[in-house]
A and B are shown apart, each in its own frame.
Chain A
Amino acid sequence: MTLQIELNGVNKFYGAFHALKDINLAIEEGTFVALVGPSGCGKSTLLRSLAGLEKISTGEMKIAGALMNNVPPRKRDVAMVFQSYALYPHMTVEENLTYSLRIRGVKKAEALKAAADVAATTGLTHLMKRYPRELSGGQRQRVAMSRAIIRHPKAFLFDEPLSNLDAALRVHMRKEIRALHDRLHATSVYVTHDQIEAMTMADHVVVMRDGVIEQQGRPLDLYDRPANRFVAGFIGSPAMNFIPAIVGEDGMHAVLDLGATRARLALAAPLAAGVAVTVGIRPEHIRIVASGEGAFDVPVGFVESTGSATYVTSATRPELTVVETGRPDIASGERVGLAIEPTQLHLFDADTGKRLEVARAAGVMRFAPRAAAHPAAATFSPS
């Protein structure tokens, strides 16, 4: 595998605004990379820089080994799918598809054949003579994709291509784009603000915030071991629960602060006494048990059911969200116990938000035993 896209120390300034801060990224040929983050995080700027539509201020950008810093878009041999699709409104579907080939001086018969081939794979054959305004949103999306495919570019750049589609079509196109990527073995860079799109489609996820890469890696690695509180909160839906806590005087336990409720949590590895930490627990790693049988009890705030899953939110500060499969018989105002998977806790520095690594003995966190504990419960003792 060779590196298809390389960014070394890339910075981008708009006047005084620092849009991209020291970006380092190496993308291997054939990888599907998702750039994900909240709006304004610089992901679109990074993508546009790759396309050559923005000029980077400092650093090095290589595509297929060649330095691209000052190369205009037309010589980069990348294809881009825009959020608005950017189909040429005065050209038919066929003309839209063959436009890039015609510019390159490909013979008309050849270009038409290439368009027909691509259209056959994307199901556009019967729409070739239509104008973009006569197409539905999904069909326009396909035309935009086909226009990119027809060129066999070095890389595909996607700028939130699914955000204008309705929910059902979005889920469908997600699979289609991924299938397309697998078939073409192309290198793809996909910008989205939707972490589910990033998680489900990408081989490699890059999480950005304020122009900085917060973390990058395989989707499930990011999910299982987020490098900081931001990534932990951004990846996963519903979002991870965060509870402020203080390390106890023996350095071997943390005291969770849930407003009226306090709970002691033993640590597997010692931390400095009195240090403020944030404990992260994913909603699906908490289970609801009878009052007194879990790690601690909380009053129930809201109960929302989607049919297949039930979201229970506690009336504590901060709120804790629990996802239960099925339809547990819980009502608002009731007190319930929470059983917490001991191996699934995340600890973050309260000030910097950075992940605190806890030594794992044989992959399992050790917690002090407690009488009559639920087998799956992390063991807490009320302080």
Chain B
Amino acid sequence: MSDQMRNRLMLAVALVLAAIYLFPLYWMYITALKTGSAMFATPPKFLPSEPQWSIYAHVWESRNMGRYLWNSLVIALGAVSLIAVLGVGCAYVLARYRSVWVDIGLFLILMLQVLPASLMVTPIFVGFSQFGLLDTPRLAVILAIAAKSMPFFVVLVRATFMSVPMELEEAALVDGNSRFGAFFNIVLPLARNGILVSAILIFMQAFGEFVYSKSMIQAVELQPASVGLNSFMGPNTNEWNNIMAYATIYVTPVLAVFILLQRRIVSGLTSGALK
């Protein structure tokens, strides 16, 4: 009886906390559908009385969102590909060799993770401009994001590789494969889930990245959606419904992917993705 009560209480607390946490998201979705006057009504309405569905097409057209989202996609995919190619090899080495140097390397990698983007952006900007990388600003942002997110990826994927037994690789070596062959035939397929999950997390981070894009990409036609959203908001903005519609279009696909893959992401992060 008391157990049941306790469970119900915990559930109620969880629901309240979830409601508080998700309220901004909810507010974004309903505000997008409100008319200009309904937006500023007091007391506010929690359900729009006359939803404005046409707002999405309007915002998509007027803000040229296709271009912004395309740029976001290019940057996110570029960063994920670069991180995956470089990070997988790095994580594998860190998983298989134990020495003082590996420990030092891991420590440095985690240190990199601690530094915030807003702190790193100035030195990166100066360095990139010296190399002329700012002429290709999307590439510059891809490089910066890769440097920022690589540690996170390496640490996650290293854990995945460590869960693949060494004996499987040795069996492949004795069976007649080379080190590289054993890696690609045996280790990589078994670590695939963990790598995919880590890559998706990186993708979602990069898709919403703002600080580097804002500082390095001056040309409007190369800016990603996060910067586009920012430029939408001026000091005298009052078209909140349009901004919320923009945010809805930007965020919903990412949310959908996360919800669809949520179970796999959680199990991939905890089980080490074997079996």
Contacts and interface: CB of A to CB of B under 8 A. Distances in A.
A and B bind: yes
Contacts of A104: 176
A94 B174 CA distance: 18
A84 B167 contact: yes
Interface in A104-156: 104, 133, 147, 151
Pick the 7 closest A-B CB pairs, nearest first. Answer: A86-B171, A100-B175, A86-B167, A73-B173, A74-B176, A80-B174, A103-B176
Contact of B181 (A80, A86, A103): A103
Nearest to B181: A103
15 contacts: A52-B173, A72-B178, A73-B170, A74-B178, A79-B174, A83-B167, A86-B167, A86-B168, A86-B170, A88-B171, A89-B190, A103-B176, A103-B177, A103-B181, A133-B275
Nearest to B175: A100
B178 to A, nearest CB: 6
Interface of B: 165, 167-168, 170-178, 181, 185-186, 189-190, 274-275
A82 B171 contact: yes
Interface string A64-96: 000000001110101110111011111000000
Interface of A: 51-53, 72-74, 76, 78-80, 82-84, 86-90, 99-100, 103-104, 133, 147, 151, 157
A88 B168 contact: yes
Contact of B170 (A53, A76, A99, A147): A53
A88 B186 contact: yes
Main secondary structure of the interface of B (DSSP, over half): helix
Contact of A73 (B168, B174, B190): B174
A74 B180 CA distance: 12
Contacts of A157: 174
A84 B177 CA distance: 19
A74 B178 CA distance: 7
Contacts of B189: 90
B171 A80 contact: yes
Contact of B175 (A53, A84, A99): A99
A133 B189 CA distance: 16
A82 B176 contact: no
Contacts of A89: 168, 190, 274-275
Nearest to B190: A90
Given A73-B170, A74-B174, A88-B171, 5 more contacts: A52-B174, A79-B175, A83-B167, A86-B170, A104-B176
Contacts of A88: 168, 171-172, 186
A127 B190 CA distance: 22
A83 B175 CA distance: 16
B243 to A, nearest CB: 47
A151 B174 CA distance: 11
Contacts of A100: 175-176
Contacts of B274: 89
B92 to A, nearest CB: 17
